A = this chain, B = another copy of it.
């Protein structure tokens, strides 16, 4: 039977050119995270299934996990997101870890979804988390960092909008202003979360249905709609003026403006699906007319670590998927250029194996990445291969070169050939690397 050469549906093969780009994108991300004092961590691809139950969105647990029994009868799940894992890891060392604790990771994640543009079954996702800070300075820094990553790629502020909300403020409005009970509030939040996917009339009807007749008579649904349609903090109803969630939001917006993160927007219907959020939530949207969509987001989740039976740790974090980032960079023409990692191709003409290899070792020791044609094909075939691989330079090592102590360097772009000492050759080749 002939085996298929295709990867599993929704998964990606990374050929060297794809891997180079991925590494370059991750380098940008690592650099910014480390500038902000975040340290990289990682956890296993497989986790006990119970870790995800009640810890992530229902949609993911019920429909999107890769869950199975191992050979010992244990139920395991391929990680669908990193937050349960990182919470587990912090909980395991709750006492020894030093706060504020800043961690990031770019895990490989899997969700069983219909593959589509910007969404595969397999993807990578930057996860950034700041543990141990209850103050709004935490949200400030985390949003600043998300913004700094996009700016590192050269994105102008006009390319994206950071929408911000406070689950605490919504909760206060529903319970203390509209006097709704817990059940009503929970149901409403789920409906509001789906607002963008619903027809406006349908959304209004669903909202309306959740109020009691007397709440409806006193204008509850309308008050809620007015609240949800606020586009600025200054236009929020007077009833939430002095609540602490509102004060924190004001401070966050002021901080971000002071940090030149000005493309922010108050968005009271922003919920984000995950149940674990307890305070500020945010989501970054692409402003490009052909790609208007949510790219990534995060928020505060102060109670997750406590669910492992340890003292809770206030936490703010976000996750940024690789595919949405790649789409964003592509559509805004910001994808970084990457170079072939091979600097020089070598054609061996001399039969003096030892001397040839000493010469090659010398080039490598000086920092060149050198690929040798090891076949016994004709020279023109060897040269053709290097041309096809996209190399700029090749060098010939024959007896003449070995006797001279100089190699013949050929520029495959200009066709120019010259004899050069190994040191000079290395510096010529390295000079073109950056270009």
The digit string for A36-64, where 1 denotes a CB below 8 A from any CB of B, is 11011111111110110000000000010
Task: Indicate if the CB atoms of A5 and B37 lie closer than 8 Å.
Answer: no
Are A8 and B135 also in contact (CB < 8 A) when A3-B307, A70-B112, A309-B3 are?
no
Which of B15, B34, B89, B135 is in CB contact (< 8 Å) with A15?
Answer: B89
Chain A, residues 53-79, CB within 8 Å of chain B (1/0): the string is 000000000010010111110101010
Contacting residue for A5 out of B69, B308, B341, B367, CB 8 A = B308
Within 8 A of B (CB), among A95-116: 98-100, 102-103, 108, 110, 112
Contact B46 A375 (CB under 8 A): no
Give every chain B residue within 8 A of A407 (Cβ-Cβ). Answer: none
Any chain B CB within 8 A of the CB of A176? no
A76 CB, nearest partner CB in chain B, Å: 6
- Complex: A62 Cα to B11 Cα, angstroms: 25
- Known A-B contacts A46-B110, A258-B353; the reply to A19 vs B36 at CB < 8 A is no
Whether the Cβ atoms of A46 and B66 lie closer than 8 Å is: yes
A404 is an interface residue with CB less than 8 A from chain B:
no
Determine whether the beta carbon of A141 is less than 8 Å from that of B35.
Answer: no
Residue contact B370 to A8, C-beta cutoff 8 Å = no
| Contact call B44/A7, Cβ cutoff below 8 A | yes
Q: How far is the CB of A141 from chain B (nearest CB, A)?
A: 6
Give Cα distance in the complex from A201 to B46, angstroms.
Answer: 43
A367 to B38, CA, bound (A): 14
Closest to A17 in B: B39
Contact of A357 among B42, B46, B258, B357 (CB under 8 A): B258
A323 CB within 8 Å of chain B: no
Distance A30 CA – B144 CA, assembled complex (angstroms): 32
